[in-house]
Chain A
Amino acid sequence: MKKGKVRGKVSILEHELVPLHEVMTEREVEELLNKYKIKKEQLPKIKSSDPVIREIKAREGDVVRITRKSRTAGKTLFYRLVTK
């Protein structure tokens, strides 16, 4: 029997464990920070070497909006600051 055929790279973004990550615009970030009265550095972090961050080509200093599936609320939004 032949070895399992090798195919091209599969996008990790389609994996069921990976929620939607989107880079936020400056204005959205400002609104977010004002809403919670916090500074950017107080947001949870995500590494720029994170596979999803590399895939969506976000850069250090960007804020990503993550649309999580939640067991209790159905859908929740979460935010992370891209760091080194």
Chain B
Amino acid sequence: MDAGERDIVRALEKMGIEREMAELVAEDFNVSELKAGRDELLALGIEEHYADDILKILGIEESEVKFSDIELRVNMSSLPDKIKEELKSKLRVVRRKLSREKLDSIVDRAEREYEKARVEPREAVGIVAAQSIGEPGTQMTLRTFHYAGVGAIYITLGLPRIIEIVDARKKPSTPAMKVRLTGEYASNRHKAEMLAMGIEETHIRDVAKVESSTEDMCIRVYLNERELSRRGIEEGEVIDKIKSLDMPIQEEDGKLKIYTRNNSYHELLRLEERVANMLVHGIEGIRRAIVRKSQDGEYMVYTEGSALKKISRIEGVDFSRTTTNNIAEIADVLGIEAARNAIIDEMLNTLEEQGLDVDARHVTLIADAMTVDGEVKQIGRHGLAGEKASVLSRAAFEVTVDNLLEAAIHGETDELKGVTENVIVGQPIRLGTGAVELVAKNYSELR
């Protein structure tokens, strides 16, 4: 092997080509007069993408732009993934008309345009987001309830729902889940119905009449056979449940008597309520469950009431695609990032349902602001606005006197960095062009 060949081997190795391959290429071709094309290299048993790389290193360019060229060139750019994909698909269509130079300049241009479209530093994105959601908000229905399109389950929509999300309520006014199912449960209506019935909460009061009797100081439970069979619950289940109370019990045909321990009237009433509210079946909090076919043709269960953690343990439930409209619950069970996604999804869906088109970026910003500190914070006095660093800004928002008094007691200073406080004192705000005081051209050269 002469010096020239060794150079080639080294150069090829640097490009990540295995030594063996590199030697093979260097031996078989005299580089200075190499006319070998792709086909010859392929014939040597070199893999396709290696062959392309080798040709490139050797300075032999195939004139035609290949799919792999588009792929490589676009991936090298600084564009976000989604735009890369779009650009690639458009370039593939016009591939035959492309030359390498054209490809380069198209991608460069795309990069430049993308940079231009980005938000400028110091742009007041928060205010833009507030306006962009506020204005369409004036067109939203104030009517709280809505047919959610699924059976008779009602879900709060419209403006009240948006307020609920932004206020980060611990529990929405109408909690609901969309439960996705796996395998057979998703394709067989009967199985899905069975699952739905199995998770609907059933209390003793739903399947029996519970009465207290002061005469002999006991609770009488009359089981309702029809209700029991309709819900597919065995009598034994109910009796076992009552027995778990660990109270003196007497069984008579179809009737149960539960005696109190210390014969007090007060205890009797408490016991009556406790027995009536005992859960015999299903998941606590799921008041109704309805089976519907989803758009993709799978059966799924819509529930009134929400219990994400418990539903995850039910056989046949595809937990990974099951969601709830209770954002606090999502934060507890799935973490802060999932809560952020849920806020975005819920808000966009609510807006879209009302026929309003708000850019996802505004909603995303709100969700980000609500979740930066690792917990879901409301946008208001008890959350974001209440935690602002500036005294004046807080005082301008709500409860002015309290804020000023509190700040005076602690001797707080206001740095006058935000918008509100500068408007209050009558200074230009430090945003946009106001963010810059003096700029010397070519400052670094002057120094």
Assess the B373–A44 pair: CB atoms within 8 A: yes
Residues of B in contact with A (beta carbons under 8 Å apart) = 80-85, 194-195, 197-199, 232-233, 281-282, 312-316, 319-321, 323, 330, 332-338, 341-342, 360-361, 364, 371-375
Chain B residues whose C-beta falls within 8 Å of the C-beta of A17 in the assembled complex:
323, 330, 334, 337-338, 341-342
Among A4, A44, A72, the residue within 8 A (CB) of B372 is A44
Bound-complex Cα distance A45 to B82 (A): 27
Among A2, A10, A45, A74, the residue within 8 A (CB) of B319 is A10
Among B313, B314, B337, B361, the residue within 8 A (CB) of A19 is B337
Main secondary structure of the interface of B (DSSP, over half): helix
Among A5, A6, A66, the residue within 8 A (CB) of B337 is A66
Assess the A51–B332 pair: CB atoms within 8 A: yes
Chain A residues whose C-beta falls within 8 Å of the C-beta of B281 in the assembled complex:
3
Q: Which of B198, B323, B364, B374 has most chain A Cβ within 10 Å?
A: B374
Chain B residues whose C-beta falls within 8 Å of the C-beta of A8 in the assembled complex:
313
Assess the B80–A68 pair: CB atoms within 8 A: no
Query: What is the size, in residues, of chain A's interface with B at 8 Å between Cβ atoms?
Result: 37
Assess the B336–A4 pair: CB atoms within 8 A: no
- Give, as a whole number of angstroms, the nearest-CB distance from A69 to chain B: 8
Among A5, A7, A47, the residue within 8 A (CB) of B336 is A47
Chain B residues whose C-beta falls within 8 Å of the C-beta of A6 in the assembled complex:
313-315
- Give, as a whole number of angstroms, the nearest-CB distance from B126 to chain A: 16
Assess the B199–A4 pair: CB atoms within 8 A: yes
Q: Is A32 an interface residue (CB 8 A)?
A: no
Bound-complex Cα distance A17 to B360 (A): 16
Bound-complex Cα distance A75 to B83 (A): 10
- List which A47-68 residues lie within 8 A (CB) of chain B: 47, 50-53, 66, 68
Q: Is A46 an interface residue (CB 8 A)?
A: yes
Q: Is A16 an interface residue (CB 8 A)?
A: yes
Chain B residues whose C-beta falls within 8 Å of the C-beta of A9 in the assembled complex:
312-313
Chain A residues whose C-beta falls within 8 Å of the C-beta of B330 in the assembled complex:
17
Chain B residues whose C-beta falls within 8 Å of the C-beta of A70 in the assembled complex:
80, 82, 364
- Considering only CB atoms, which chain A residue lies closest to B194 in the complex? A1
Bound-complex Cα distance A49 to B427 (A): 43
Bound-complex Cα distance A19 to B233 (A): 40
- Considering only CB atoms, which chain A residue lies closest to B322 in the complex? A15
- Give, as a whole number of angstroms, the nearest-CB distance from A48 to chain B: 9
Bound-complex Cα distance A72 to B330 (A): 23
Bound-complex Cα distance A3 to B241 (A): 14
- Give, as a whole number of angstroms, the nearest-CB distance from A36 to chain B: 13
19 further interface pairs, Cβ-Cβ under 8 Å (given A1-B194, A6-B314, A17-B323): A6-B315, A7-B315, A10-B312, A10-B319, A12-B333, A17-B341, A17-B342, A19-B337, A21-B337, A46-B335, A46-B337, A47-B374, A52-B337, A70-B364, A72-B82, A74-B81, A74-B83, A75-B80, A80-B336
The 17 sampled A-B contact pairs (Cβ below 8 Å) are: A2-B198, A3-B281, A6-B315, A8-B313, A15-B319, A16-B321, A44-B373, A45-B372, A45-B374, A46-B336, A46-B337, A50-B374, A72-B82, A73-B82, A74-B80, A75-B80, A75-B81
Assess the A50–B336 pair: CB atoms within 8 A: yes
Chain A residues whose C-beta falls within 8 Å of the C-beta of B194 in the assembled complex:
1
